[in-house]
Structure 1
C-alpha cells in the first residue's frame, strides 16, 4: 500500500473516532454504569462499550479484511495472521472519564506489518483532535505540531511517576519539572507531540491500544517512543503489553535515558 491508501484509512478512522467520541461524550459527567476488570484494578464503563461497538461496526464494515485489537473486545488470535489491523482504545483514560476529568480520548490506529501507519486521538471534552498518517504531518485540530527543541530556562518538562523522579540524582532533579499526573497515556504522548511536555516515562504494562495511534503522531511531530534499549515498539505480537518505555523530543531522550538506565 502507498501513502494515498493510508490517507484513505486515516480519513476512515478519523470519522469513526469522531462518532465514537460523540457517543462517549454523551455519557460524560452523567455517572455512567461502571464495572471492574483485571481483578478489580481497571474500570470500564457503559460508555467504553458503546464507543467500542460503534468503532467495530464502522471500521470492520469498511475494511472486513483487517484484523481487530481493542481493549474492550476479547482478543482473537486470528489478528496475528493479518498484515493490517485496527488497534483501538474506545476510551483511553477511563478513570479520568468516570471522575469527570476532561483528559480522556478515543484512540484508533491502523497498524501494518507491526508499525502504525495511521492514527487518530479525539478528546471531545477538550475539543481537541490529533492525527497523522505515515509520511504525513502530525496535526492538532488541523494545524501542524512539532516537539520541543528545548526551553529557555533549560528545564525538562516531563510526566513521570513521582517515585521515579525521586530516584534521579539531585543535580538532575533540579533540571526537571514534573507535571501533575495525566491519566490518559495516549493523551500524554500527544502532549509531547504538541510541545507541552518535553518527554514522559511510561511504566511497565502499557498495551498496544494505549500507544499505537499516539506513537505515530509523536513520530510525525519529530519525537520518538522507545524502550530503554532504544528500540521502536513492534505492534500486533502475541503479547500486547510492554516494559518500561520513554518518549520525547530528541533532547529529552538524551537527557532522560542515562538516568533511567541507572
Structure 2
C-alpha cells in the first residue's frame, strides 16, 4: 500500500471515529428512555427513533465530507449507485438494537470505509461502555487508544455459538468449548474476539455488510480473521449484502474448528 493510500485511509479513520463519537452521543441520549419503536422485515427486526437519529447525523457528516463515496446503511434505503463506487461507507447506526431497547449496554455504532470490496478503516463505538475500537489497513487494532490482540486459545475455548450449532460438533471438540452467553451486537461480539475477551464466534447465515465490515478489519488488525466456512475472506459491497455462515477467531482456532463446522 502506498504512502498516499496510507494517508487517505488514516484521514478516513479520523473522520469516522469523530462521526462515531457524535452518533454514539446521540444514541446514548435515547438509551433507557423508551424511544419510539417500529418493526421492519415483516415484523422481525425492531428499529427505533435512536437508530434513525444516529443514522441522520452520520449521513449528514460523512456524505458532506466525502461526497464521492458510496453509501450503505441499515437504516437508509439502498441504492444501486453504491455498486459503481470503488469506495463507500458501510454503516450500522446502532448494531444490537434489541439489546439497546432492552437496556443492555452491548450495542455500538459501526462505521467502515470499504475500498474495492474490503474494509480499509473501521470504528466501533460502544458509548454505554465507554469503549472505542478502531483500525486502519496496515495498522494496529486499538481499543480506547491501546493495542489489542486476539487470544491464544487454551481449553476450554470460550466461544460465542448457538446451542443448536454446538450440538452438531463432534463430542471431543464440543467438550472443549465453553459457550458464552448471547451478545446481541454481532459487531461487538467480533470485537470481543479481537480484544481476546473470547476466543471465537460462529455467525449464522444472513448477517449483513453493516453488521460486519468495521469489526472484520478490527479483528484482522488484531491478528484474527472473520471468514466463510471455506476459510475465504468476506467481500463487501456486492448486490446482495447478506452473508452465509461465518466463523471468527485466531488462525490456530480457525484451523481447528472450520473443518468440523463445515462438515456439519
Q: Does TM, normalized by the shorter one, top 0.5?
A: yes
Q: Equivalences for 1:218-229 in 2 at 5 Å?
A: 218-229=219-230
How far, CA to CA, are the matches of 2:133 and 2:28 in structure 1? 17
- The corresponding residue for 1:65 is 68
RMSD: 0.7
Give the structure-1-normalised TM-score.
0.98
- The corresponding residue for 1:163 is 164
- The corresponding residue for 1:93 is 96
How far, CA to CA, are the matches of 1:167 and 1:221 in structure 2? 29
- Does the alignment pair 1:76 with 2:79? yes
- The corresponding residue for 1:242 is 243
- The corresponding residue for 2:33 is 30
| 1:132 counterpart SS class | strand
Q: Equivalences for 1:189-200 in 2 at 5 Å?
A: 189-200=190-201
How far, CA to CA, are the matches of 1:29 and 1:165 in structure 2? 33
- The corresponding residue for 2:14 is 11
Q: Post-superposition shift, 1:150?
A: 2.2
Q: Post-superposition shift, 1:251?
A: 1.7
| 2:128 counterpart SS class | helix
- The corresponding residue for 2:138 is 135
Q: Which runs of 4+ in 1 moved over 2 A?
A: none
How far, CA to CA, are the matches of 2:13 and 2:32 in structure 1? 29
Q: Post-superposition shift, 1:166?
A: 1.4
Which digits, 9 at most, give the CA deviation of each residue in 1:140-180, with x for residues without a partner?
000000001223xx211110111111121221111000100
How far, CA to CA, are the matches of 2:253 and 2:28 in structure 1? 34
How far, CA to CA, are the matches of 2:138 and 2:184 in structure 1? 29
Q: Post-superposition shift, 1:199?
A: 0.7
- The corresponding residue for 1:261 is 262
> Structure 1 residues 160-169 or 56-65, which shifts more?
160-169
Which digits, 9 at most, give the CA deviation of each residue in 1:163-215, with x for residues without a partner?
11112122111100010000100000000000011110000000000000000
Give the structure-2-normalised TM-score.
0.97
- The corresponding residue for 1:39 is 42
Give the gaps of 5 or more residues in structure 2: none
| 1:129 counterpart SS class | strand
